[in-house]
Amino acid sequence: MKPEPSASAREKILFYLKTKGPQTASRIAGRIGITPMAVRQHLYQLEQDGQVTFEDRKAPVGRPARHWGLTAGAAALFPDSHADLLVGLIDAVRGAFGEPGLERLIAERVRQQSAAYRKRMPESGSFEKRLSVLVGLRRDEGYMAEWQKERDGSYTLVENHCPICDAAKACPGICGGELALFQAVLSGHARVERTEHMMEGARRCVYRLHPAGR
């Protein structure tokens, strides 16, 4: 998911902070193509609107650098897939079938989703090609996903947004299902572990992928 070319400067700033975390005005300006002064003007207005906040961090030399980041309230600016409906369904399943029934539902959802993902995966090609397809699928679903290769040969899959956050809060097992989904889709290709988790207070969810044979 990327901001539309016609997106306003404010929307581009919000998207950049969502995907990259706290940044200085100069760094934001270099990314979105406007002056640092113009970025600061937008940031001050966004601060008044309760969408961003700042922290002054010590720099090696000179004055502290002001880093701007999103507030918790800014999460409402990004899509949450039918939050009320999902939470309502979770409560209904829990009420009718108890926790065991909810766990079976999550397991079946993982099975169906992993099967759908595997159908989209290339039959041959590099691990990076397979990972790119997976990340593309997650982007299409609103997770603002991206990946990068690490120096040790492993890979990092990052999801900067969770479109089912409210549902995950109501049913933590959903997050276990997300990890199980990646493990199923990449079974035989990589070992998957989660290293950062939004439900534990992190800004994003991060998965470390260790390709088979390494």
Q: What is the pLDDT of residues 128-137, one digit of tens each?
A: 999 999 999 9
For domain 9-77, the question of CATH label 3.40.630.30 is answered with: no
pLDDT digits (tens, 9 = 90+) for 52-111: 999 999 888 888 999 999 988 887 788 776 677 788 888 999 999 999 999 999 999 999
Contact in structure between 19 and 69 (CB atoms under 8 Å): no
- In order of 157, 189, 210, the CA distances from 213 in angstroms are 19, 9, 9
Report residue 137 as tokens.
């699928």
Token output for 34: 């406007």
Percentage of residues of the chain with pLDDT beyond 70? 95
Q: What is the pTM for the complete model shown?
A: 0.76
Q: Which range is least confidently modeled, 8-12, 111-115, 194-198?
A: 8-12
Average pLDDT, the chain: 90
Fold classification of 83-211 is Muramoyl-pentapeptide Carboxypeptidase; domain 2 (3.30.1380)
Instruction: Describe the chain by its helix, strand, coil percentages, rounded to 5.
Output: 55, 15, 30
Asked if 189 and 182 count as a contact pair (C-beta separation under 8 A), the reply is no
Domain residue ranges in the chain: 9-77, 83-211
